[in-house]
Amino acid sequence: MKLDQIDYKLIELLQQNCKQTTKELADQLDLSTTAVYERVKKLEKQNIITDYVAIVNKDKINRSFMTMAHVKIKSHSKDAIIKFEKKVNEIPEVLECFHVSGEYDYILKIGVHDMEAYREFMLSKLTTMEEVQSTHSMFVIKEVKNSKTYSIL
C-alpha cells in the first residue's frame, strides 16, 4: 500500500494523541470527517496502525526500576527458541524482548519496583527457565530518551 503525505500527517497526529476525534483530525488535515475516517480504517486494515494504547507513568505504578538483561540460551534450535520466546511473552515484568546478534541471544527490558523485586524476578522466573544458559544485567541510571512514536521521515 502506497502512503501519501496526508496519510503520513494523519499517522503523526494519531501518534501525538490518538484520542482526537475524527472531526479534530479532519480540521487539522483540511479534509472531511468521512475522508479521515476512511483513511484511518484503511491504515488499520493494512496493519500500518496496529493498536491504540494508554502510556502509563511507571513511577505511579511502582515499576520504575528498569533493567536490561542480556540472555544467552543453551540451544539455538528452533524448538528452544520458540519455547524461550513463549515463556518470556508470559512474564509481565518483561516489557520488551529482542532477539539479537552478538555475544548474547536476547536483550530483555524489565520493569519492576526495586532491586529486591529484580532479584526475586531473576531467581524465580528468568534463571529458572531450562533454556537459559546465562544472564548479564545492566541497571538503568537515567532514561535519556524513550520514544513512543516513529518519526515520519
Q: Which residues of 103-114 are buried (b: 16+ CB within 10 A; e: fewer)?
A: ebbbbbebbbee
Note the pLDDT tens digit of each residue in 126-143: 999 999 999 999 999 999
Burial of 146 (0-12, 13-18, 19+ CB in 10 A): exposed
Cα→Cα distances 120→36, 46, 74, 84, Å:
48, 41, 22, 19
The pTM (predicted TM-score) of the whole model is 0.86
pLDDT in tens, 36-85: 999 999 999 999 999 999 999 999 999 999 999 999 999 999 999 999 99
